[in-house]
Structure 1
Amino acid sequence: MNRALNWLSALADGEPLAGFPASLRVIDGELDNRMARFIAVLPDAQNPFPRARNGEVGLLEGWGLAKAVSEAIEADRNGEKRAIVAVIDVPSQAYGRREEALGIHQALAAAVEAYAQARLAGHPVIGLLVGKAMSGAFLAHGYQAQRLIALDDSGVMVHAMGKAAAARITLRSVEELEALAAQVAPMAYDLDSYASLGLLWRKLSVDNAQAPSVADLAQVRRCLAEAVQDISQSSDLRSRLAGEHRRASREVRERLRAQWQGA
């Protein structure tokens, strides 16, 4: 069962838009009496790029995300800005020689830019974490959102890489890595540590994170609507600086601002 597909299908009951790869589902729907575009990256066993068959964000997915968001920006240029909801369950970006040779960095950068341009243009952009939000995949799909909402479930994880890979890179065992994560919040995988960095707007306890119940859907839709209202006219990410472990970030910005104003 794919969490992103389950939640996307439940939240947006319209028909998927044509013109996108099979690994990308884009549906226009409604959120609190406002137009909304729901987007999810999905596994595709027939993906022509083998490294992107399990829900990873690769070349097709990066360019597809950029197209989905950019088309919404253009369509709403002279009218009400629809909400854009990234439904997130992505295990990684696609690692492979072909991906590197064909410019996966450009594809993912295009997706990031599109999401950033959407919020700068006045679109409320929300990331709904229903599963894994890992590595460059999360950076490309959802991290630019003004508000990040996560299901409070053990299957929801946020990190730069999986535990086994992180252990290899840091020359530690997985057990040693977990012990370090208990002391250093950015190394941790749990949502409480992530929330302490100021990046998570809200956590939601649900009955079933895999297959949402009617009550789960109602709660998530209410939270998404509240996020749209909370974003209001804000196009930046400054709310993230209020986190418990962002004191140094706040101080650096204050000093830079003082230097700039005194120059």
Structure 2
Amino acid sequence: MTDTSSLGARWLAALTDNAAAVPGYPASVRVVDGTLAGMAARFIAVVPDPDSRYPRARNGEVGLAEGWALARAVREAMSADDAAKARRAIVAVVDVPSQAYGRTEEAYGLHQALAGAAEAYACARRAGHPVLGLIVGQAMSGGFLAHGYQANRLIALSGDAVQVHAMGKQAAARITQRSVEGVEALARTITPMAYDIDSYASLGLLYRRLDVAAEDTSRAEAVRDALVDAIEDIGDTRDLADRHAREGRVASHEVRRRLREQWAG
């Protein structure tokens, strides 16, 4: 039985008026076809499945089944729209604690499943689908890279539950040989090490941070309006240049400038 208490599951339901999920996907990947301001849209979320055959993917992590299912959800929408000569919006509702760390997952090609999902989102974006990443909870590690990070625009809700990072605090503590408290202290002085959404917003990667608490699904209409605004802002663009144009990307601009100079030379 699929857990419906996660932020991802709750926001998916709120944004789609509790519409029925598209059948045929694993219990951990919920796909719902709906609309945004009258435009067709496909909403996708990874949700906890305590009955998953993979123990490392029972709490909303993106594992083998999830990676390939995400890729299929995106590519099936692309194929259907090719026939209809349309380009629906694709909304990745993001609440993922990580990828599924496990020997089984690694042995059977977790990296390929995650790459397949990321590539599908990128292909949809390049094909002209407005792809939106809506961060409603955790956006951690390879889970976020596979589900949401390839979006034209990233939008985040507010509050302590909304966190973005390359790895969880326990993993970061092991890698840096610190305690969790030490990692938290480091995050207060080094912005890229921080987990809170305000620090992430300061890096210039978000299109918008909404003043909507992650737990407050009653504000679904305001979030839908923000998604519609993002679609209009995307227009006909198909790349990620918008992220590099925002404040806070000074170093990124300089690195890219130097790379262009070296490439041209």
* TM-score interval, smaller chain: over 0.9
Q: Give secondary structure in 2 for the equivalent of 1:167.
A: helix
- Assess if the C-alpha contact under 8 Å between 1:197 and 1:240 holds in 2: no
| Partner residue, 1:6 | 10
C-alpha distance after superposition, 1:29-71 (max 9, x if no partner): 0001110000000111111111111111100000000000011
Of residues 124, 131, 141 in structure 1, which corresponds to 2:147? 141
User: Shift of residue 211 of structure 1?
Assistant: 4.6
Aligned 8 A contact 1:167 1:174 in 2: yes
Of the candidates 200, 205, 214, which is equivalent to residue 194 of structure 1? 200
| Secondary structure in 1 matching 2:99 | coil
State the Cα distance separating 1:23 from its structure 2 match: 0.5
Q: Is the 8 A contact 1:3 1:211 kept in 2?
A: no
Paired residues of 1:58 and 1:107 also in contact (CA < 8 A): yes
Please state whether the residue corresponding to 2:239 is helix, strand or coil.
coil
Q: Which residue of 2 aligns with 1:19?
A: 24
Q: Distance in 2 between matches of 1:22 and 1:258?
A: 49
CA distance in 2, matches of 1:66, 1:246: 30
Give the equivalent residue in structure 1 for 2:243. Answer: 240
Instruction: Give the alignment of 1:1-263 within 5 angstroms.
Output: 1-13=5-17, 14-78=19-83, 79-206=85-212, 208-213=213-218, 216-261=219-264, 263=265
Task: Note the alpha carbon deviations across 1:101-138, whole angstroms, 9 max, x for none.
Answer: 11010000000000000000000000111111111000
Q: Is the 8 A contact 1:6 1:211 kept in 2?
A: no
> Are the equivalent residues in 1 in contact too, given 2:92–2:147 (CA < 8 A)?
yes
Which whole-Å deviations, capped at 9, do the CAs of 1:134-156 have from their partners, x for residues lacking one? 11000000000011111111100
Distance in structure 2 (CA, Å) of the matches to 1:39 and 1:128 = 10
For structure 1, which runs of at least 5 residues remain unmatched after alignment?
none
Distance, in Å, in 2 between the alignment partners of 1:21 and 1:211 is 27
Instruction: Write the distance in 2 (CA, Å) between the matches of 1:251 and 1:144.
Output: 22
Verify the 8 A CA contact 1:127 1:143 in the aligned structure 2: yes
Q: Displacement of 1:251 after TM fit?
A: 1.0
Q: Deviating runs (4+, > 4 A) in structure 1?
A: none
Instruction: Kindly provide the amino acid, as one letter, of the partner of residue 14 in structure 2.
Output: A
* Structure 2 spans left out of the alignment, 5+ residues: none
Q: Distance in 2 between matches of 1:67 and 1:234?
A: 24
- Secondary structure of the residue aligned to 2:82 is coil
Q: What is the identity, as a one-letter code, of the residue corresponding to 2:150?
A: Q
Task: Tell me the alpha carbon deviations over residues 189-232 of structure 1, each in whole angstroms, 9 at most, x when there is no partner.
Answer: 111221122211111122x522511xx11110100000000011
Q: Provide the secondary structure at the position in 2 that maps to 1:148.
A: strand
Sequence identity percentage: 63
Kept in 1, the 8 Å contact 2:45–2:94? The answer is yes
CA distance in 2, matches of 1:136, 1:100: 13
CA distance in structure 1 between the aligned counterparts of 2:180 and 2:252, rounded to whole angstroms? 29
Contact 1:125 1:146 (C-alpha < 8 Å) held by counterparts: yes
Count of residue pairs the alignment pairs up: 259
Moved more, 80-89 or 250-259: 250-259
Q: Distance in 2 between matches of 1:135 and 1:259?
A: 31
